[in-house]
Amino acid sequence: MYVGIDVSKDRLDVASLGEGAFAPFQVGRDEKGLSELISRLKAYSIQLIVLEATGGYERAVAAALAAAKLQAAVVNPRQVRDFARATGKLAKTDSLDAAVLAQFAEAVKPQVQTLPDALSMQLDEMLTRRAQLVQMLVAEKNRRASVLVMRNPTQSKKVAKSLESHIQALEKLIAELEDDIDTTIKNSPVWREHEDLLRSVPGVGPTVARVLIGYLPELGTLNRRQIAALVGVAPFNRDSGKSTGKRAIWGGRAHVRSVLYMAAVTAIRFNSDLKAFYHRLLAGGKAKKLALTAVMRKLLVCLNAMMRDRASWSPRLPA
């Protein structure tokens, strides 16, 4: 039997597929509802339970299923939606989504994830909050710049003062949060070792190291192709018949990829090995954007090898 659970803010819609499948039902997404969910699911022999990642609402559900020793996988909503379209299911309701998730579980059989511990979840939440604050800070700075060209000088001064006050408050919050993140990492011997290894690479600063530790715990456990595909820096073919299309990267973990891009930009200036690699690609006729993407992938592969072997950076590090 395969089970799909559609997670929303207030409730869970549950559907099943396979031998002995039960009628769909709903429970609340609260302590009482989770208790009822576990009690009802434990009565069946279930091969796999699938639920979508829904902005954090799924975490308590996944934790409850793991505690009850029920095999569950949290999957990308886009992958499930593409699966639904491919099978001709265009309508979308919570109950239909639960049924699609059960079908997806049976057809794809996604890998069951190991839930992060409490400290890892805390670090993830702090990094996510920092990213939100930075996004707000950038928006406010852009507004401050646009206020300077407004026609009403008196009004512009009032708005600019308000913006400046908010910008300073955001900068203070970000600094405090970065201190908390540093303390959390330093209090973990394993994370402290990981940070030291990552920051031994010219081009990898504290922000990049923190994001890799928090958002890419698989670093060092996968092979070079798997880690590149996971982050979204692996080029995919676009060929059909005699036509050969341009290779392109897509998908993956966008936040990891964005900090990896900034690390690559720094590395082609200060990392002799990656700088030489970048200029060799340019000399071979590669476009700058393509060459920089290749540097991102090479940097990621090297970091993966370093974490795997527990080795600090050295030029020509084998991947």
Domains contained in the chain, number: 3
**Domain with 99 in it: what CATH number?**
3.30.420.40
Alpha helices (runs of H) in 87-117, residue ranges in sequence order: 94-108
The residue among 108, 138, 163 that closes a domain is 108
Question: Measured between alpha carbons, how far apart are the two ends of the chain, in Å?
Answer: 41
**What is the per-residue pLDDT for 318?**
47
Q: Which of 168, 187, 206 is the last residue of a domain?
A: 187
- Are 11 and 84 in the same domain? yes
- pTM score of the predicted model: 0.72
Both 44 and 82 in a single domain?
Answer: yes
| Burial of 115 per CB tally in 10 Å (0-12, 13-18, 19+) | middle
**Residue 314 domain-assigned?**
no
Give the CA-trace dihedral at 257, 263, 265, 268, to 10 degrees: -130
Q: Which helix (H) or strand (E) holds 16?
A: strand 11-17
Q: Is 26 part of a structural domain of the chain?
A: yes
Residues 199 and 296 in one domain: yes
| Sign (positive or negative) of CA dihedral 79, 83, 88, 89 | negative
Q: Determine the structural domain holding residue 276 and report its residue range.
A: 195-309
Element (H, E) at 243: strand 243-244
What does the pLDDT read at residue 111?
84
Would you say residue 280 lies in a domain? yes
- The 3-class secondary structure across 267-283, one letter per residue, is HHHHCHHHHHHHHHHHH
Per-residue pLDDT, 145 = 84
Residue 176 in domain: yes
92/148 same-domain check:
no
pLDDT digit string (tens) for the chain, length 319 residues: 999 999 998 999 999 999 889 999 999 999 999 999 999 999 999 999 999 988 778 888 988 898 888 999 988 888 899 999 998 888 888 889 999 999 999 999 988 876 677 788 888 889 989 999 999 999 999 988 887 666 666 667 888 889 999 999 999 999 999 999 999 998 888 899 999 999 999 989 999 999 999 989 889 988 999 899 889 887 655 555 555 545 555 567 888 999 999 999 999 999 999 999 999 999 999 999 999 999 999 999 999 999 999 998 876 654 4
Query: Which distant-in-sequence residues (6+ apart) come within 8 Å of 211 by Cβ?
Result: 127, 255, 256, 259
Kindly state whether residue 158 falls inside one of the protein's structural domains.
yes
So what's the pLDDT on residue 157? Answer: 80
- State which of 156, 187, 218 marks the end of a domain: 187
If asked whether residues 305 and 199 sit together in one domain, one would say yes
Give yes or no: residues 99 and 71 share one domain.
Answer: yes
Burial category of 154 from C-beta neighbours within 10 Å (exposed 0-12, middle 13-18, buried 19 and up): exposed
The alpha carbon torsion through 118, 123, 129, 133 (nearest 10 deg) reads: 160
Residue 218 in contact with residue 227, Cβ under 8 Å?
Answer: yes
- In this structure, the answer to whether residues 218 and 297 fall within a common structural domain is yes
Name the residue with tokens 């009628």: 23
**CA distances from residue 170 to 134, 139, 144, 165, 178 in whole angstroms, order as listed:** 8, 11, 14, 9, 12
